[in-house]
Amino acid sequence: MALSLGVDTGGTYTDAVLIRDERDVVASAKALTTRHDLAEGIGAAVSAVLRDGAVRPEEVALASLSTTLATNALVEGQGGRVALILIGFRNGDLEKHGLNGALSGDPALHIAGGHDHAGGEKVALDEDRLRRWLDAHGRDVSGFAIAAQFATRNPAHEQRAAALIQQITGRPVSASHHLSSRLNGPKRAMTAVLNARLIGMIDRLIGRAQSQLAALGITAPLMVVRGDGALISAEFARERPIETILSGPAASIVGARWLTGAQDALVSDIGGTTTDVAVLRNGRPSIDPDGARVGPYRTMVEAVAMRTFGLGGDSEVHFVAEGLAGGITLGPRRILPVSLIARDAPDTVHDALYQQLRRPVPGEHDGRFVRCVGGSSPDALEPRDAALLQRIGDEVHPLGDVLRSRLDVTAMRRLVDRGLVQVAGATPSDASHVLGHVSVWDKGAAEKALRLMGRRRTGAGHMLAPDPKEMALMIIDQLTHETSLALLETGFAEEQDPFGLPAADLARHVLMQRGLRGHEGLVRLNTGLQSPVIGLGASASAYYPAVGQRLGCQMELPTHAGVANAIGAVVGRVTIRKAGTVTCPSEGRFRVHLPEGPQDFNALEAALSLLETELTKRARVEADKAGAVDVRISAQRDVRTTQAEGREIFVEADIVVEVSGRPRIAVN
């Protein structure tokens, strides 16, 4: 009776779940995510689930982790200082392909070398220049990224450069041909840079997580979720941390499939910060054909095709003063719910809310609070930012008490962006407390905060909402509307036959919106979402039934939807894919591109057979390293030909080999 432990670190909560024999959920638990050290939240959630499930630590045979750390780090520009070695590229490629932005001031070295499309050496590798640069600057960075022209056709120069870097500096190296087998050198260089930047950060997280588990008595092997939903060993993730981007959303889709058995559906996962929507087809998540996009960066990493919207339970509620009716919008920024910060500082929050309610005129910052983030390092701050941070100190304050000028407002925004302070205010989570949908934090504080927001005056001079429940209903209705738009936008974007307009415009089109309300005049309109929707997230049961009603679709809210990411982290399979190419440099000659260099054959089938054999061998080795057992192997060939003068002429062939198996478990 094997027990598996799944852990997911989200923006607000860290979830843990215990599953027996990949069939039954034994227990689940949540703990607040500790942003200054994610391992603390992991330890708290795991301790709680072991206690709730009455499970001894030594009974756990497998542990698996999905995390937003890599994704958030790239979005926020965090990570180690790295150097990029570009072999055979022009100086202008840095600017042209956005590599300068990804480097953010980190050094780059252009040296001669590289190969041509057929894998032949174009120019000899300039080893002397590389050695001189490494002797002078090699120890100024934490790691290196290497990209050589046409390295996927012949990686010899990347391999030689990597060996020199290891020999001279001892620093970790990310070679682009290890991360992708596809062409597009600048994009591979981008992927290698981001991978190199993440190595130290993911290594520390995995090390801290393993230490926390060991301290609790769990000695089972640790797996990590990849961006396409597959599992990899912790050691594998340490070498290729870039593959863990979008790990959390990928885990949610795997969890949705396991919980429902659905083959075709939209999967919508609402968290505290974002709503992630993806498509499940034939029981598998759609993979982004262009590679995972994170913030401004497009990588060559295989990841789930995911549309992310700045809409969650902790989205900031904004008052809209324009127009006679007034109104509200949500997000995209996440803030602390008032009901949550009141739990940590009840006297301060309730006293301030009471005083604000006694004033005859609403204030600009009513119902909003601020506090510093524990464990943060405030280095190199501007004088005004440093003074404001010192003014806040270690206490919770009403926001209006610390902002003394408009310049302070700008400084506060910078401190929030750097993660040094947190602002609290009205959110959908507070609205849910007022309506009685949830009761985990301070309902009284939520009611006061929504009463304050409802006192704001519209363009017609009327109160926005005189009653907290009316204000709460307005917030939830806006969340329902914006979630519906997110699902419609995803549906239009994934339609097989395009409509000729941007998906966001189609979702908001007057015909679509009138059709949702069943317009009947001279024209009858009836629109909706045909696909069923699987709603995930701790708050899905509170928000999503109304979304299903509005869209006229089947809305499935599975049991354990609140910990679907943690479930997906542990029920996935280890999957390794390897791809290779056969080209035709001249008629009757078929070239196989291998890591050891190109090999030529006179017969196409002989070339294809060798490539498939080599890919299978390498995929099996990596699958074993990634922790797979009981593997299954499949291969797909894509042979492209053309017609010329009545003859079929071979152009190029790609082979993809997939090795998939169950994760290796500890035997107790």
pLDDT at 2: 78
Amino acid at 531: S
Q: Distances from the Cα of 250 to the Cαs of 69, 281, 297, 305, 490, in angstroms?
A: 14, 14, 18, 9, 16
pLDDT at 377: 59
Relative to beta strand 3-9, strand 13-20 is antiparallel
Query: What's the whole-model pTM score?
Result: 0.80
Bridge partners, residue 330, by sequence:
317
Asked if 67 and 9 count as a contact pair (C-beta separation under 8 A), the reply is yes
Q: Does residue 98 carry a pLDDT above 90?
A: no
Q: Does residue 11 carry a pLDDT above 80?
A: no
Three-state SS string over 129-166 comes to: HHHHHHHHHHHHCCEEEEEECCCCCCCHHHHHHHHHHH
Q: Does residue 104 carry a pLDDT above 80?
A: no
Close Cβ partners of 57 (under 8 Å, ≥ 6 residues apart): 50, 216, 217, 218
Distance of alpha carbon 177 from alpha carbon 150, whole angstroms: 9
**Nearest residue to 69 (alpha-carbon basis) of 4, 16, 145, 7:** 7
Distance of alpha carbon 240 from alpha carbon 230, whole angstroms: 14
pLDDT at 647: 85
Distance of alpha carbon 137 from alpha carbon 169, whole angstroms: 10
Close Cβ partners of 609 (under 8 Å, ≥ 6 residues apart): none
pLDDT tens-digit profile of 303-320? 888 888 888 899 999 998
Say what the alpha-carbon torsion angle 337, 338, 342, 343 is, to the nearest 10 degrees.
Answer: -20
Distance of alpha carbon 615 from alpha carbon 656, whole angstroms: 8
The backbone torsions φ and ψ at residue 297, rounded to the nearest 5 degrees and listed phi first, read -105, 130
Q: CB-based burial of residue 247 (10 Å sphere; 0-12 exposed, 13-18 middle, 19+ buried)?
A: buried
pLDDT at 101: 77
The backbone torsions φ and ψ at residue 5, rounded to the nearest 5 degrees and listed phi first, read -115, 125
Rounded to an integer, the average pLDDT of 242-268 is 90
pLDDT at 379: 62
How confident is residue 557, by pLDDT bands cut at 50, 70 and 90? Answer: very high
Q: Does residue 666 carry a pLDDT above 80?
A: no
DSSP per-residue string spanning 10-78: -SSEEEEEEEETTTEEEEEEEEE--TT-HHHHHHHHHHHHHHHTT--GGGEEEEEEEESHHHHHHHTT-
pLDDT at 295: 65
Give the number of other Cβ atoms within 10 Å of residue 666's Cβ. Answer: 14
Q: Does residue 488 carry a pLDDT above 60?
A: yes
Rounded to an integer, the average pLDDT of 406-414 is 91
pLDDT tens-digit profile of 637-654? 999 999 887 888 999 999
How confident is residue 138, by pLDDT bands cut at 50, 70 and 90? Answer: confident
The backbone torsions φ and ψ at residue 472, rounded to the nearest 5 degrees and listed phi first, read -65, -40
The residue count of the chain comes to 668
Give the number of other Cβ atoms within 10 Å of residue 227's Cβ. Answer: 28
pLDDT at 33: 84
pLDDT tens-digit profile of 73-88? 666 666 778 899 999 9
Distance of alpha carbon 490 from alpha carbon 510, whole angstroms: 18
Bridge partners, residue 327, by sequence:
320
Q: Does residue 115 carry a pLDDT above 70?
A: yes
Asked if 82 and 73 count as a contact pair (C-beta separation under 8 A), the reply is no
